[in-house]
Amino acid sequence: MNREEALETIRAVIEEAVPGADLSAVPSDENFRERLEMDSLDFLAFVEALSGRTGLALPEQDYPALATLDGCADYVAGHTGGAQSEPA
Amino acid sequence: MPSLGADMDEGTLVEWLTTVGAEVARGEVVAVVETAKSTIEVECFESGTVTELLVEPGTTVPVGTPLAVISPTAPVRPPPARGPVPAGDATATPLVRHQAAEEGVELAALHGSGRGGRITRSDVSRAAHPAPSRHPAPSRVHASPLARRLAESLGVDLSAVRGSGRHGAVKADDVRAAAGSRTGPDQAATVKEASVAAGARRAPKAAASDTGTSAAAAAAASASASTSTSDRAAIARLMSRAKREIPHYYLSTTIDLAAALEWMRRQNSTRPVGERLVPAALLLKAVASAAREVPELNGHWTDGRFVAAAGVRLGTAVSVRGGGLVAPALADADRMPLTDVMATLKDLVSRARHGRLRASETADPTLTVTNLGDQGVESVFGVIYPPQVAMVGLGRVTERPVAVAGMIALHPTVTATLSADHRASDGATGARFLTTLDRLLQHPEDL
């Protein structure tokens, strides 16, 4: 999965976990969990769905890397063999 | 019209999903109803043939108003307990069954007026001590102007009040009496009319509008427009009643969560993502277990005395996106393994937010937990939902300096508070509850 595909998947997964979320208003380097007021269950639903789509285990200690859209995209691309655009 | 929350006093019939002449089975969805908060799929309480639909789509009626007449297909109406009861649904709580046994009342002969068609303590009391004259709730209630004003301010449904005035007119004293002992409208006597009021499911407003007829959709839309106002009014009534009637006392303690969260982290590292825990699951499980250990706070204030509940039904306040709050009850969390509590919590919250709650899941919490932690506040002192006698508040999990073996360390902590009804318990009991909660959270492996 390259970075662009990863980003697309991530956006779809967030919109699934948080129906009605306006992702266009969230800068890609900002903490979307805070911005979208996701609670711990929302975030877990996001992680679960992302894990399902990507096949990645997404262990809890890696959650900090998943805080922003950029971070998520780099992480997913990096762990699925896709090229990272830039070092995170 | 079923009552689906302590703060619901009327509902709008959006759509019929059955017709006159249709055979219906207990548990079948027969109507869509909209309340101030959400849209609910109403399940049938009886099996039989629909002989009359009493309420037109688009009509708003008070809780307790018969919606339809169902004639039993069999000559003898089978006891409700033998019907195809949906999982988790029950027509009476163990406490009510116990009361019925004591008072010699046949539960099968009663119509539940509680949420989800449950038989309430009042239903049993009324059957055990019938009033001299009893009428089915009339569609238009005769009441004195003072009684109407009082009913409005006390949040009492007039059509559920037995009037002692001439021709059954409701007088102010009747309203005061009803406000004191109210758990539901008086339907116990209307045995011939099987009112459609039982298990129900909540569905999101928008979805219901889509499925409704055009008239119904228009009604739903107009109801939505006034939702925030009527919702506020309902909350205002309930909270005013709580603060007027309940002498609250408040306690607070800060609990060290280092052990609990470290245990959870280790658990989660070995669990697949679908079974991972969140701190809320540990906290709710611990609160439920503490409620079992301190039963003086788990139950209801009814008819001037505290009645302990047989089991723990933890009302869990869930904020719904776009505003609003629903408090589905987490049943028997004290007896469930933590993994099941987590799964149930995920399921309840998800359905509360996406609109698939059943009425039985909103019914009769014995103790409520409010968790404003995700909003970032350190502590919250809640207002008790009558007739419950306590409310637990959980703040944000935050790092604080704590003393450990003579040294200062930074540990994750949570401030747990208790608002309790001083009529039902004293501060020492409340303190025992919070101490118990603290102790349970120091041994997460036993949760």
Helix/strand/coil (H/E/C) assignment for every residue in B22-76: CEECCCCEEEEEECCCCEEEEECCCCEEEEEECCCCCCEEECCCCCEEEECCCCC
Mean pLDDT of A59-75: 93
Please give the class, per CATH, of domain B246-446. alpha beta
pLDDT digits (tens, 9 = 90+) for B46-84: 888 998 999 998 888 888 888 888 888 754 444 444 444
Chain B residues whose beta carbon lies within 8 Å of the beta carbon of residue A37? 374
DSSP one-letter code for B82:
G
Chain B residues whose beta carbon lies within 8 Å of the beta carbon of residue A41? 278, 280, 345-346, 349-350
- pLDDT-based confidence at A37, cuts 50/70/90? confident
A64 and A72 Cβ atoms separated by less than 8 Å: no
CATH code, residues B138-184:
4.10.320.10
Q: Is the confidence at residue B181, as pLDDT, over 50?
A: yes
Domains of chain B, residue spans:
10-132+191-238, 138-184, 246-446
A3 and A83 Cβ atoms separated by less than 8 Å: yes
Cα–Cα distance between A18 and B353 in angstroms, integer? 10
pLDDT of the residue at B247: 98
Chain B's closest residue to A36, CA to CA, is B321
Of the two residues A30 and B214, the one the predictor is more confident about is A30
Four-residue CA torsion sign, B206, B211, B215, B219:
negative
Within 8 A by CB and 6+ apart from B63, the residues are B1, B2, B3, B8, B9, B10, B11, B157, B160, B184, B185
Q: Is A64 on the interface with B (CB under 8 A)?
A: no
DSSP codes of every residue in B335-393? TS-HHHHHHHHHHHHHHHHHT--BHHHHS--SEEEEE-GGGT-S---PPP-TTB-EEEE
Token code pair at residue B109: 């002969």
Q: Which fold has domain B10-132+191-238?
A: OB fold (Dihydrolipoamide Acetyltransferase, E2P) (2.40.50)
Portion of chain B with pLDDT greater than 90, in percent: 38
Distance of CA B239 to the CA centre of its chain: 15
Chain A residues whose beta carbon lies within 8 Å of the beta carbon of residue B274? 48
Domains of chain A, residue spans:
3-79
pLDDT of the residue at B255: 97
Return the bridge partners of A79, or none.
Answer: none
**Radius of gyration of chain A, Cα coordinates, nearest whole angstrom:** 12
State yes or no: ipTM above 0.90: no
- Angle at which helix B227-245 crosses helix B214-225, to 10 degrees, equals 50
Homologous superfamily, domain A3-79: ACP-like (1.10.1200.10)
pLDDT of the residue at B90: 45
For residue B17, the number of C-alpha atoms closer than 13 Å in the C-beta half-sphere is 17
Q: Is B278 on the interface with A (CB under 8 A)?
A: yes
Q: Find, among B80, B29, B27, B25, the residue nearest to B47 by Cα.
A: B25
